[in-house]
Structure 1
Amino acid sequence: MTTGPVQACSSSPDQTRDLAAAIAELARPCDLVLLVGDLGAGKTAFTQGFGRGLGVDDQITSPTFALVQSYTGRLDLYHLDVYRLEQMNEALDLGLSEMLDDESVTVIEWGDKITQALPRDYLEVSITFGEAEEDRVFELRPVGSRWQARMRALTVALSAWSLSGESLSGESLSGESGTGENPC
């Protein structure tokens, strides 16, 4: 079973949305996904694709000023953007604990800002810029057991975004050892 982070790449916002939709296919009620990345890295594009993978039909927009948006799908989605929060208790004032106890999935942009207010069980998705303007590199790291148990399935689901022909963890999908290098 894959135990470390999984890496993936995209070369356009549409590919980012497709990648996120593939991840959402593995989502379960009460899942939490934290998105980490610089301004313009693609956190909202990721959430749009994730929502599509959950069956959300509404247009997903950045909740930067509203802070929280909710959407209905096969699993409901809470989308938070905590960039503007200045104190940890502001996250709790948003009703975060109620959202996490709901039978929905919660995606938090800038989630690394509030990890102290969160349960230690989530999928952290770090998004960095690649070489070309629209290239993005994704590192998916499970924290806690919920996503850890799904990492092998996640690796297989994201194999289309590997540039090396190997699984994203550096293992071949047939079980042979790979290079372990970042395919991006």
Structure 2
Amino acid sequence: MHDFGAALAGRLRAGDLVVLTGPLGAGKTTFTRGLGVGLRVRGSVTSPTFVLARTHPSTVGGPPLVHVDAYRLASAVELDDLDIDFPNSIVVVEWGRGMLDGITESWLDIEIERPLGASQAAPSGLDDDGLDLDEPRTVTITPHGPRWAGAAGFEPAAAGEARDARLSE
């Protein structure tokens, strides 16, 4: 998930919104940590569970990365109340599905699935959160809105359609 985030960083620009969905331990924060590395932002990217949002400025003059944990938020209004600079930042919202009404017209919806009951790796194969780094994930990317129209590999999906990318790293 880290490598996937780092690779996706090259496709993102100021104003882009990424919504991450997946169960606890799926790799949402690991993905965002990789995105931060790819964007070359300052500060350690960790889960903003208790602060709701963290801003990581770019070290190379690019847009900041804003990492939001919407788990405790009840609506798009509460997300909007965080006063995030969506137009000038790259924003990642964990647990944000269904909270985008009126926030933006384009976003990437990334759903991460992790097989239940998968084997545990040896302690050296675990990340800081105790997650198996080698456990395969299934990632479904669904682009929404005009920002992604015509972007190679990110054609907007028709209603109910999703694109799959299978990762084993």
Q: TM-score range by the shorter chain?
A: 0.7 to 0.9
Shift of 1:183: 4.9
The answer to whether structure 1 residue 126 and structure 2 residue 114 are counterparts is no
Q: What TM-score results when the alignment is normalised by the length of structure 2? A: 0.74
Report the residue type matching 2:12 in the other structure: A
**1:91 touches 1:117 (CA, 8 Å); kept in 2?**
no
In structure 2, the partner of 1:78 is 66
List structure 1 segments (4+ residues) > 4 angstroms apart after TM superposition: 181-184
In structure 1, the partner of 2:36 is 51
SS at structure 2 position matched to 1:124? strand
Report the residue type matching 1:143 in the other structure: H
Query: Could you tell me which of 84, 89, 92 is aligned with 2:80?
Result: 92
SS at structure 1 position matched to 2:92? strand
Structure with higher RCO (Cα < 8 A, 6+ apart): 1
In structure 2, the partner of 1:5 is none
Query: Could you tell me which of 8, 20, 42 is aligned with 1:35?
Result: 20
Provide the rounded CA distance (Å) in 2 between the counterparts of 1:32 and 1:19: 16
Provide the rounded CA distance (Å) in 2 between the counterparts of 1:84 and 1:151: 35
In structure 1, the partner of 2:146 is 145
Shift of 1:46: 0.6
Between the aligned residues of both structures, percent identity stands at: 37
Higher helix share goes to which structure? 1
**2:22 touches 2:111 (CA, 8 Å); kept in 1?**
yes
Provide the rounded CA distance (Å) in 2 between the counterparts of 1:111 and 1:182: 21
Report the residue type matching 2:8 in the other structure: I
**1:92 touches 1:117 (CA, 8 Å); kept in 2?**
no
Shift of 1:40: 1.4
Gaps of 5+ in 2: 120-134, 156-162
Provide the rounded CA distance (Å) in 2 between the counterparts of 1:91 and 1:61: 19
Report the residue type matching 1:17 in the other structure: H
Instruction: Give the root-mean-square deviation of aligned CA atoms.
Output: 2.2
Shift of 1:93: 1.0
**2:138 touches 2:165 (CA, 8 Å); kept in 1?**
no
Query: Could you tell me which of 50, 63, 66 is aligned with 2:51?
Result: 66
Is the alpha carbon distance of 1:182 and 1:80 closer, same or farther for their aligned partners in structure 2, counting shifts above 3 Å?
closer
Provide the rounded CA distance (Å) in 1 between the counterparts of 2:52 and 2:165: 34
In structure 2, the partner of 1:158 is none
Provide the rounded CA distance (Å) in 2 between the counterparts of 1:182 and 1:61: 25
Q: What TM-score results when the alignment is normalised by the length of structure 1? A: 0.69
